[in-house]
Amino acid sequence: MTSSKEQITILGATGSIGINTLDVISRHPEKYQTFALTAHRNVDLLSEQCLQFKPRYAVITDESKAEQLKVTLASYNSNTQVLSATEDLSVVASHSDVDTVMAAIVGAAGLLPTLAAVEASKKVLLANKEALVMSGSIFMQAVKESGSTLLPIDSEHNAIFQSLPEHFVAQGIRSCGIENIVLTGSGGPFLNKPLDDFSSITQEEACAHPNWDMGRKISVDSATMMNKGLELIEACWMFDVKPSDIEVILHPQSIIHSMVRYKDGSVISQMGNPDMRTPIAHALAFPERVDAGVAPLDFMSISQLTFDKPCFKRFPCLKLAIDAMKAGGNMPATLNAANEIAVEAFLQEEIGFTQIAEVIQQTLSQTGYAEIADLRAVLAADLSARQLTTQIISEL
Ligand code: NAD
Ligand code: MG
């Protein structure tokens, strides 16, 4: 018998977004049922999640962990079927019994399953910004052609979405009296650190974000502000605007999550505590509203809301991303791949913090511009940027 509950696949269930998604789902068992949960390596957490949420499928893409997952689940008489091929991510994202897919794998690994969900006309909740950064127009074309509903999970994009008029999708935001989009960012842990000390920044310091508790890759991206750059690219594609339509401003308290400025002088923002369960619950229940377990925003305890301009000398990655989007073609995919390799090298202590931007900049300047006509071209740009960045790092 098909359940009347909304069937949900969570790609990247064991990550920070995946865990927060399950937390919201657990508050509404009458509404949501997990169809599939996926993870790369964290077999212990995936087992626990399967036993609690009883999905039809579990996918663990590190095949060496599949046996352990099967044995653990069997010992509890679980009915969850274990899959472990990379292609199985796309299978559980596009299965005909699935209504909604939370795309929360980190990095380029999320592209194909997220696209599979889009092409199968699912409601897609997009956390995996790298997928959209890499494939831009191809991704948005697939959304259009399939009629898939794309909803933003990134808190800034979710805030922008909430601050836009309802008819913006049909009319395009240019005909809605909008002046521009204000993309806010906290500035991360190094907003006030002396620039001379940047080269000695450690992995632990870079991963300790003042306001948000996130996976390690996005934490480093937040520290370099590449995250804001990726978000600017994500916003350009998602809302069909140009980099010049987006104003990036620093707002260290992370209470305002982004804003839309209208031609009549109005500025509409979305506010809330920095807790990803708010955008997750918003997108899951859209257009309804459900409890997310988030503490009410206490205005009396917020002493001030401050704003500042980002400095490209402090955050060169932000400038690299804006320029890559302006250049177009293969540049955003190249930027994204170079960043993934550079951040991983930093996390492995192979390069220093300031070398992340240097390595990405070198990769971009050594890559010739090329048009991106199809998915194959996206994957080719991604692969060649990975190879080039790896080579650049090995020669440092
Ligand atoms: P994370 O590192 O905590 O989790 C990543 C998830 O992806 C894990 O479940 C992991 O098993 C899975 N994964 C990693 N590599 C994989 C691979 N090669 N194949 C299949 N699965 C793989 O990351 P996160 O912080 O949850 O972020 C996930 C995505 O959401 C990122 O794109 C990030 O930019 C975006 N995002 C995160 C936050 C946040 O607060 N954490 C906020 C906004 C956007
Ligand atoms: Mg964000």
Class of residue 304 by CB neighbours under 10 A (exposed 0-12, middle 13-18, buried 19+): exposed
Q: Rounded to whole angstroms, how far apart are CA atoms 120 and 105?
A: 18
Beta strand 178-185 pairing with 256-262: antiparallel
Q: Counting atoms of ligand 1 from 1, which one is nearest the CA of 18?
A: 26
Pocket test for ligand 1, best of 17, 46, 212, 233 (most atoms within 8 A of CB): 17
Phi and psi at 161, nearest 5°, equal -55, -45
Q: For the sheet containing 149-152, what is the strand order? A: 81-83, 57-60, 32-39, 6-11, 100-103, 123-126, 149-152
The dihedral of CA 115, 117, 119, 124: what is its sign?
A: negative
* Number of C-beta neighbours around residue 42 at 10 A: 17
Rounded Cα gap, residues 359 and 347, in angstroms: 14
Distance from C-alpha of 235 to C-alpha of 245, rounded to nearest angstrom: 10
Ligand in nearest proximity to the CA of 220: 1
* Ligand of minimum distance to the alpha carbon of 109: 1
Number of residues that this document lists for the chain: 396
pLDDT per residue rounded down to tens, the chain (396 residues): 456 999 999 999 999 999 999 999 999 999 999 999 999 999 999 999 999 999 999 999 999 999 999 999 999 999 999 999 999 999 999 999 999 999 999 999 999 999 999 999 999 999 999 999 999 999 999 999 999 999 999 999 999 999 999 888 777 777 889 999 999 999 999 999 999 999 999 999 999 988 888 999 999 999 999 999 999 999 999 999 999 999 999 999 999 999 999 999 999 999 999 999 999 999 999 999 999 999 999 999 998 999 999 999 999 999 999 999 999 999 999 999 999 999 999 999 999 999 999 999 999 999 999 999 999 999 999 999 999 999 999 999
From CA 185, how far away is CA 248, in angstroms rounded? 7
Contact 148, 121 (CB under 8 A): yes
Dihedral of CA 335/337/343/345: which sign?
A: negative
pLDDT of residue 191: 96
Local structure of 211: helix, strand or coil: coil
Calpha distance 218→223 (Å, rounded):
9
Ligand 1 atom closest to residue 16's alpha carbon, by position in its atom list: 26
Tokens of 102: 């939370």
User: What distance in Å separates the CA atoms of residue 388 and residue 363, rounded to the nearest whole number?
Assistant: 6
Helix (H, G, I), strand (E, B) or coil at 71: helix
Q: How far apart are the CA of 130 and the centre of ligand 1, in A?
A: 10
Domain extents for the chain? 6-152, 161-327
Q: Cβ(236)–Cβ(137) under 8 Å?
A: no
Instruction: Give the per-residue pLDDT at 1.
Output: 46
Query: How far is Cα of residue 227 from the mean position of the Cα atoms in its chain?
Result: 9
Q: Whose CA is nearest to atom 20 of ligand 1?
A: 40
- Write the class of the CATH domain 6-152: alpha beta
Residue 43 tokens read as 């077999």
Per-residue model confidence (pLDDT) at position 2:
53
| Helix pair 111-119, 129-146: axis angle to 10 deg | 20
For ligand 1, atom 42, name the residue with the nearest CA.
154
CA of 83 to the centre of ligand 2 (A): 31
Give the model's pLDDT for residue 241: 95
Q: Which helix H or strand E contains 178, and what residues bound it?
A: strand 178-185
- In 148-225, which ranges are continuous DSSP H helix? 155-163, 168-171, 203-207, 216-224
| Binding pocket residue ranges, ligand 1, CB within 6 Å | 12-18, 39-40, 42, 61, 104-106, 109, 127-130, 154, 212, 214-215, 217-218, 276
